[in-house]
Amino acid sequence: MASAAPPAAARALRTVVFVDGVRTPFGKAGKKGIYAETRADDLIVKVIRELLRRHPELPPERVDEVAIAATTQIGDQGLTIGRTAALLAGLPKSVPGFAIDRMCAGAMTAVTTTASGIAFGAYDVAIAGGVEHMGRHPMGEGVDPNPRFLADQLVDTSALVMGQTAENLHDRFPHLTKERADAFAAASQEKYANAVKAGKIGPEFVPVATRSAELSWGLATEDEPPRPGTTVEALAALKTPFRPHGRVTAGNAAGLNDGATGALLADEETARELGLPVGMRLVGYAFAGVEPEVMGVGPVPATEKALARTGLSIDDIGLFEINEAFAVQVLAFLDHFGIADDDPRVNQWGGAIATGHPLASSGVRLMTQLSHQFAERPDVRYGITTMCIGIGMGGTVIWENPHWRGND
């Protein structure tokens, strides 16, 4: 009788660090947007190349995985884009890659998935990011939802229209008024504009050469969606496209956008060995499901779960980067945790209402900004990146500031 195989050696979890993040400037989706004639895969290729350019201390062959998210995995966002983008970016053919989808939290999930592999010891270094070209591939292109969703009343008919889910959130929490949403949106635009003027936003950009049959070649060097000078009075006059006399407008929601993001992740010991910087340490993460028709509330249970699993409380969090899919969604999160609408810890450089929200790419934008904020705030130990996710989910990642000086 053959003897039993010896038990596998126990593995100690390793510390995962966010080394660096970059992104393209975000564009407006549509025929007049800056990326109207630019391929989606070329956007993410630029991001991968920029990460490698900024970190010549990283031998390309040391990259163990490339995970790239896209919500609409079709056309130039299809064909296992993590692998194809890695090849197009010039990484060695020995570097594998894969595609991932969790709608708006695609890049966030690319990070948490590869980070889990690093913690377990399957990878030492990984690239994770996302791309969304909503001009070429509108949300929902080519999908065929199972009719049982409605026939069996599994979800409300509004669940697949994100703007309607935001209106539902206003219904559920009537104290989250349109006036509050408009005020939050105007503040987001102002904070973003101030951050750009102060040089806080911009260093993470990779310029992208753009082509237009009408205008010839150009260079994208700044975000296209922001509307500086937006006032509450102007927002109050906008139409409510998802419901007559509704509360959700183009002004208090993120737009339809194109763009790509990418992050370099590593085991902390490997980062030290290679001389890579440490921007943040991963503390924990969680995803949670909610009723699809009020998907905007998803960050609440996701954050509660992440805090519980890490032994932290909301009072331990010194900085918040919350994706602004809709102003009402952020307000629901803030109200739940007793945080003021204008709390300076929240989205201090503005958010997606200003900069845009190219779906699967946005999670890494949040992380990159938090990492830069940590470098300026040694008094803050913990921060979170969190977002609502279509079809009724939320995702939260908790990070530790490596520059924290303790209680000095």
The residues carrying an active-site annotation are 104, 357, 388
d(CA 347, CA 9): 43
> Which residues have a Cβ under 8 Å from the Cβ of 230 and sit 6 or more positions away?
185, 186, 189, 190, 251
**Using CA atoms, how far apart are residues 291 and 183, in angstroms rounded to an integer?**
27
List C-alpha distances in Å: 144 to 147, 160, 280.
9, 12, 40
Look at residues 374, 282, 359, 284 and name the one whose alpha carbon lies nearest to residue 321: 374
Q: What are phi and psi of 129, to 5 degrees?
A: -170, -165
DSSP result, 60-103: GGG--EEEEE-SS-SGGG-S-HHHHHHHHTT--TT--EEEE-BT
Question: CA nearest 399: which of 115, 94, 29, 80?
Answer: 115
Query: In terms of Cα–Cα distance, which of 355, 358, 386 is closest to 370?
Result: 386
- How far, in Å, CA of 6 to CA of 318, rounded? 46
Tokens of 340: 């003021």
Question: From CA 379, how far away is CA 404, in angstroms rounded?
Answer: 6
The C-alpha R_g of the chain, in whole angstroms, comes to 21
- Give one word for 243, left, alpha or beta, with left for phi > 0 and alpha for psi -120 to 50: beta
* 67 within 8 A of 82, measured Cβ to Cβ: yes
Q: Copy the structure tokens of residue 221.
A: 């060097």
